[in-house]
Structure 1
Amino acid sequence: MMDFAAAKKGAEPGVPCQVCEGLHGEAKSWCADCAVLLCESCTAIHRKILATRDHELVPQYVMKAEGVDKFQRKRHCDKHKKCELKLYCETCKALVCTACTVIDHRPGKDHNPVEIAAVAQKKKETLQELLHGIDSRLKEIQVFMEEVDGEIAKLILSKEAATEQAKAYFRRLSDLLQKREQEILNQIDKQCRADDKALQTKKEEIKFELAGLTRTQTFCKEVAEHGSDVHILEVGNQVQTRVETLLAKQVDMNSYWSEFQFIENTTVADFAEEFKNLGGLSSDVDVSKCKVLVKPAVKGFRCVTVLTTMNKQSRPCVTHSKVVTANMKDPSGTNLPTQVQMKRGGMQEISYVPKVTGSHKLEVKVNSQQVGGSPFDITVQSRDTHVLTMGQKGSGVGELYSPVGVAVDKDGNIAVVEQRNKRVQIFDADTGHSLRSFPVEGEYPCGIVVDSDGRFLVTSWGEHYGVRRYSKAGKLLNTSKSDCIKHPLGITVLMDGRMAVADLVQKSCLLLTHDGSLIREIGKGHLRTPYFIAVDESRDLILVSDYSANKVLAFDLEGVFKFNLGGQGDCLKHPLGLALDPAGNIIVVNNGDGRVQVFGPDGTFIRTVVTMKGGGPFGLTLTPDGYITGACYTGHCAEVYRYN
């Protein structure tokens, strides 16, 4: 299309030559092979050069009239330089020339070269369907964008209204505090004036008594020191009586005043706690419609419970985490710290780390109101106890019969392959409830993996063996049954769509194209009973469990052996299911004794996580939130344990 745009532009007057850059004139023709515009001089030279004289040159007048097909650049084969790519090998998914079909892509069971036009037409039809889907999605997104714009406008108004309300509320609180302060200051002033008056009155009384006693003292002293005998005898009795009267008089020497001081009826610290509850935010949350998902809890691990806040229209709504409060108590009634963190889509994650096992109580409130079901009973398990069991022996909904393969789908649910029931059953990873199931073909279904588009790939051995791809809804899309596949067991898929399948008869791992064509065999001569597979694409490593050899072998994607796990003593005992954690550690389940072991990226043993108790563990998977799920063949169940 870009070639066509350049050619059409070249048909316009004044466009310079792209070779001499206009030195010899404007563009007069277009080379469909080189995709360049040429002037008359450069066109003449182009026709003389051996490498370009056979190129298709389109004159200016043709460019003005012809359609897009005339101006598309011709593509030539990398191997046969002079041959145009006119065919498409459907087996190899590659463009080829006619010369390629003689040797490398000879028509037959391994290659199917067809005309490009036919394949391109199918692809165009597919793209047209996708375009219709895009148009529909664009309309949905446009409507949603308009809704978001409306909500943004409401948000601004909501902020302004809430801000004014908050300011008015705290102004009233401030006014109340100032009023109370003035009341206390007035009380202090009133008390001070009353006490001062009482003390002044007492002081006057004492001064009066003091003055009388002082006068009598002075008179008595003068009579005693300066009076004649006659004078002393005349007034002596009178003075004596006066003094004795004053001394005998009981003078109240108490002021009856006690010092006053300000007291804090409510301490500042206590008020600070209460202050936190002054005001707050309330959103359009309908507490009665809020949903709480209690996830399995294990002692010593970070555990979570997820709250989804809902509005009156029963739609998830975003609210501030401060609106949500969570309080947890352990079996002894001791408070356990919790943390509330806002996630997307109206979800609030309530996390905690339990220190003991047993029944815990979790109280969840939104806008100070209890959500439905609160307080929740949460049973905290020990590390070696499974936190969830899916299924029991049977063929009904939620029942399992000889489960083998297990995988995590794009929604985080657990998909389990049942060999006897010949179906895949999908379970909720949090509750263990069966969500749906779909039948699978083949005599003995075994391995399962989910590709990047969310489709299920299921292997089966025995009669009608093969690798089958199913849609998310469980519809059979296609079956891969090439000659190289004999007894497929475990399967994994790479990001580019290639598949790796363990084949018991071939005693190797088969690296296949997305349609099942063999790329190469890996592990031939090293493997005895290959069962399950995991791929570490960050290191281009493929890991294969070897049941009878008691090993897990590692190869690169070219098939070169790298290292193995086990093989010494009883480190591994009939290993089957494999998984990789985000750090690249290798998780292995032993069918022989149920141990789930972890090895480092280099094969060094790290630890034993747990011993599965369900019986006959087969497939293994690790969920994104850190739980191991293992299919127990003889126990007819799938067990879930905490990994990290």
Structure 2
Amino acid sequence: MFVSKPDDIKVEEWSTKLPTNHILVSLIDMNETKSGQKLCTACERENETESACSWCVNCSEALCNTCDRYHRKTKATKSHKLVSIDDHEKNDIPLKFAEVFCIEHPEKRIEAYCNDHTAVCCMTCVMLKHRKCDNVGSIEDAAEEIKRSDEVKEFEDKLKGFKTSLELFVQNRVDNLQNLDSDIKRIKLEVEILYKELSKHLEELKTNFLLEIAKIEKEVKPEIEEERDEMKYKIAAVDNSVALFQTNMKHAPPAQFIQAMEKLTEQKTFLENYLKDQSKKIKDSEVTFNTNEKLLEMKNVIQEFGNLNVHHVHRSDTDVMLAPVVPSVSMRSVEPILSSEVYTGLDVEGIALLEDGQVVLSSRDTNTVEIRDPNCSDVLSKLSVQGSPRGVKMTGDSEGAVAVRGHGLILFQVQNNQIHKVSEIQADVNYDFVYHTGRYYIGYGNEICIYNRNNGNYSKISEISVYNEVGYMALRDDSSLCYTVYKDNSVHCIGMDGAPVFTYSSKDLQYAVGVTVDRTGFIYVCGYLSRNVHQLSLDGKLQRIILNNFTNGPNCLTFNINYEKLAIGCWHNVLLYSLK
């Protein structure tokens, strides 16, 4: 599925060189057996059709009555374990993996592994080609060492990360289709209102205009749907890879396990390249409508309702859909090592990190958003705002926004370390917001208000009622969001539709404020008065208190894009950690 055929070889010849996937063959055979479809494997090779009555565990083949008798008599196979098809259907026998033989010496089993050449080998290979190698060991020891390595422990998480990325791409396509439908419905409504005002004289123009809309809808939506369906197909492929990986981890002998891991690694590389390519290619489609103002002035000069434009926009947030590169450390046991603590002279309310390491700070006492160098010591530029800035987040590589209490969101851009205001969203806001698939989710009172862009401007389209006054917020990769409630020291996770996922509270978490999420979905929340940071698992249980005994209470925190650094704002100070 993920291997490309060389140009200098025929398909038939190339396919014979591919290794047999014994696990997949066994699973297919088992499924066929359960479905009552299994025929004698040996007879099928001779183009004969006979129903199978038994199963050879050693050969992983079904046998008819005749082949069963000869299988029991032949010297090479008489010691094989044969079971009835009925027992095989009931899964009364374990899955048998075929032995793996040397490519250069087909009659020899793989028994050793050379670490110097990272190659599996038979004993003949060891004697002929690896006599001078210093690190040749048994295939069993090599497989166990690989299984114990951090890379293999996190390999399954990486595959699941691919699935998560693909699901996010699919959700992006679904959201774009919904937004496109919303755009079209809104435009149609505007057309109807305008049509009623201009009477029957505009009937022909109206008809032509609606046909143009229908044409755009017909041309644009199938492209998005095709992209969505392609992503779903890739999800199914990743599911197969995950199942294959899990089966190998549990049952495969060492040689089969290493062989399968090599193939899965090729699949992993393909998926990485595919996802990177899709993140650059994918574009959102929008339909906008500009009313012809002359319609309201003189009907005699009107020749059209207006003009329609379809915008294919690459959202910077689609880059975030990529499964992040898995670092060599596990977030479950990562230890933050304090790199530096810097006195900023600000009341730090929000913190973010740019891709190149620069630190973004919002300060309520100076009413500014500052860009600082990676050490947070030098101010590179600043943006003054009207009001008290709180939570700040980057919504793209160079785009970001800051919540200004009582005013709304200020959207900004950072170029060459200089911060510039781009626009603003007039909205009521408590402390924070999240950005998801082109929409802003802004916390205000006991609601999370959703703002969508229409004709270049953002307007409120709906709201989600929540448990209590929304504090700081964070978006999770599974399309849910978290928010803190400082009044009762709690953290809440809800779906993007408002459905509750979990609630966390603890006597050891006092005055819950800043919250962020790591690459695995673990949640980190600041206890300002308890002076600690809690790490929560995917289901909202306390994993551990990852940091404790701050001199000043932690107020806000964030990871960098590769999850190698953690930045925490503690009143006037900023603490920078490396993750080991």
Give TM-score scaled by structure 1 length. 0.38
Larger RCO: 1 or 2 (CA < 8 Å, sep 6+):
2
Work out which of the two has the higher radius of gyration on C-alpha atoms and give 1 or 2: 1
Looking at secondary structure, tell me which structure has more helix per residue.
Answer: 2
